[in-house]
Amino acid sequence: MEFSGRSTLITGASRGIGRAIAVEFAMAGADLALIGRDQAALEETRAACAEVHPTGKVEIIVADVAEPPAVASAVEQTLERFGRLDFAIANAGQSIDGLILRLRHGDVDRLIDVNLKSAVFLAEAAAKPMLRQRGGSIVFISSVVGITGNAGQSIYALTKAGLLGLARSLAKELGSRGVRVNAVAPGYIETAMTTAMPENAKAQYLNSIPLGRPGRPQDVSGVVRFLCSDAAAYITGQTLVVDGGLVTY
């Protein structure tokens, strides 16, 4: 129970990687604030957390993290419930694929709002109590697409690459007060987002992964737990790639 007495706020906690992170941190004893737009799915995440830590404290907050006041309110609610905020995980994300010549401007705005701006708003709100505490960890869930790019995902790649620059910059900005900021870049992970991919695209990815299998959400959540742990106390401004060897650079 290494995170006992510490609190964690997770955006996009309704399913997939976000749910896996919530369960991972529940196993470590953390108090949890779960943020998402789907009340029923958040309740399922809370139930999954209760299975591994029946006495754990879990706060559900239904909010659209693309709205700055909603994110600020979520942080305030977390502080009111738990008295502190130790870890903030910006996991909320969305993918809308399409070639640049068929771009719909509304899709551009939505991806930037959900994938990138929501992380900025979370970092802004979470940094304040963390700086007062002189400690904390912020983790952005990016993607290997933000490193390599991908045809048909130019705007998605733009938003995920932005998270990497954001992590590096905030690490320099907040480090003097003990606040660490890192990013995790998952590869092909089995989630609802990748399930919807065409079968030929899935096969192409699998053939390119040296470990020979798709990743699981738990492969990502364990890395996030590490980055927030004392074992990573001297790691900030970094991007950890979790992709089974898909990308080497």
Residue 115 DSSP label: I
**Tokens describing residue 215:** 């990743």
d(CA 103, CA 22): 34
**Tokens describing residue 89:** 């995980």
For residue 182, list its beta bridge partners: 139
Q: Let me know if 156 is a catalytic residue.
A: yes
By 3-state DSSP, what share of the chain in percent is helix, strand and coil, each rounded to 5?
50, 15, 30
CA dihedral 235, 224, 115, 58 (to 10 degrees): -130
Residues involved in catalysis? 156
